[in-house]
């Protein structure tokens, strides 16, 4: 299974396959299970629906590693539009962004200006902004930039930590000391054994350990998982330590394990769903397949249901 996962992650990085997939008939329709759409309004509509079901939302404009200043400025402008629409709709929602989409690989001062525009508008409306974590090549750079923002007085910003990285336990401890909000997930990039655990058991073990650290001493952590075992471990820690249900939240991805999402809400646990939108949906979708192979089977089934071959095969059986 790790080899299968690595292949999917590699495919997510293929520009050729991305071009093929995004122009394939029905591809966008299939992606809509996991991606709200391609516009801000699509994301807002999904957030509105989730809020009605008692679920908080994080909106994310898909995209990373932009190559030009115009692209980075446009991405920041999209986030400003998202924040204004969230405020207008009075939604229980915040936003999440990637630093490479803001120009991290172009110029850090330029990137800081773009992120600053987003943070300033969000702060005016008492809104939280999450800095997404990318591959391990960006981990330290992202944390360093976060620390600079924190030292400048921004308190409406938080980070993401990944349990497959060996450094994460210490990063969580440092974040707790600052009072920073952390989203903990397992991680979705192919990483070398020098920096990341390769065995699922070790990733899970670290996830549970860091979850304990965040629940016991963190600031409203987000425990991001679709794994029932990790969910149960989190509940058990909360029960053992007397941690209230409103002291943290579970986080899940749009369209994935909607049965578990409904169950958590029904049982009174806080839940936030990460709602992505935008035309850069191909790499996002491939990483979701890598994280949970069952997602791939869902997509394949959807393809078969829409394929003309289905009707030919059906006619042949009559």
Gyration radius of the chain over CA positions: 20
Tokens (6 digits) for 236: 């058990």
- DSSP code at position 224: E
Which helix (H) or strand (E) element contains residue 142? helix 139-151
Q: How far apart are CA 94 and CA 75, in angstroms?
A: 16
Distance CA(169)–CA(174), nearest Å, equals 9
Does residue 5 have an active-site annotation? no
**60, 132, 171, 204: which is the annotated catalytic residue?**
132
Q: Which whole-number Å values give the CA distances from 294 to 28, 61, 299, in the listed order?
A: 19, 25, 9
Question: What DSSP line would sit under 236-258, residue for residue?
Answer: HHHHHHT--GGGSEEEEETTS-H
Q: How far apart are CA 160 and CA 130, in angstroms?
A: 7
Instruction: Assign residue 187 a region (left: φ > 0; alpha: ψ between -120 and 50; beta: otherwise).
Output: left
Residue 132 falls in the annotated catalytic set: yes
Catalytic residue among 5, 112, 130, 183: 183
Residue 213 CA to residue 29 CA, distance in Å, equals 40
For 115, the token pair is 């992120």
Strand partners, 274: 58, 253
Q: Both tokens of residue 105?
A: 């690989």
Catalytic residues: 132, 183
């Amino acid at each position: 299974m790790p080899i299968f996962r690595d292949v999917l992650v590699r495919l997510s990085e293929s520009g050729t396959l991305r071009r093929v997939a995004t122009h394939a008939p029905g591809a966008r329709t299939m992606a809509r299970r996991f991606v709200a759409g391609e516009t801000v309004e699509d994301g807002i509509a999904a957030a509105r629906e989730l809020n009605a079901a008692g679920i908080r939302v994080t909106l994310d404009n898909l995209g990373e590693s932009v190559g030009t200043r115009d692209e980075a400025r446009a991405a920041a402008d999209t986030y400003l539009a998202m924040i204004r629409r969230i405020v207008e709709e009075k939604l229980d929602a915040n936003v999440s962004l990637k630093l490479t989409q803001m120009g991290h690989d172009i110029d850090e001062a330029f990137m800081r200006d773009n992120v600053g525009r987003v943070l300033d508008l969000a702060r005016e409306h008492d809104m939280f902004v999450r800095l997404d974590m990318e591959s391990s090549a960006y981990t330290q750079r992202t944390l360093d930039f976060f620390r600079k923002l924190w030292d400048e007085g921004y308190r409406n910003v938080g980070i993401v930590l990944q349990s497959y990285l060996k450094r994460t336990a210490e990063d969580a401890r440092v974040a707790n000391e600052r009072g920073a909000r952390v989203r903990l997930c397992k991680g979705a990039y192919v990483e070398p054994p020098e920096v990341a655990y390769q065995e699922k058991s070790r990733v899970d073990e670290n996830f549970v350990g860091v979850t304990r650290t965040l629940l016991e001493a963190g600031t409203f952590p987000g425990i991001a998982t679709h794994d029932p075992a990790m969910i149960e471990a989190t509940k058990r820690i909360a029960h053992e330590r007397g941690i209230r249900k409103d002291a943290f939240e579970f986080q899940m991805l749009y369209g994935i394990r909607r049965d578990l999402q409904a169950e958590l809400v029904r049982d009174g646990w806080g839940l936030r769903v990460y709602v992505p939108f935008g035309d850069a949906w191909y790499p996002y979708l491939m990483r979701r397949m890598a994280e949970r192979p069952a997602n791939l089977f869902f997509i394949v089934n959807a393809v078969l249901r829409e394929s003309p071959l289905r009707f030919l095969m059906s006619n042949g059986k009559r």
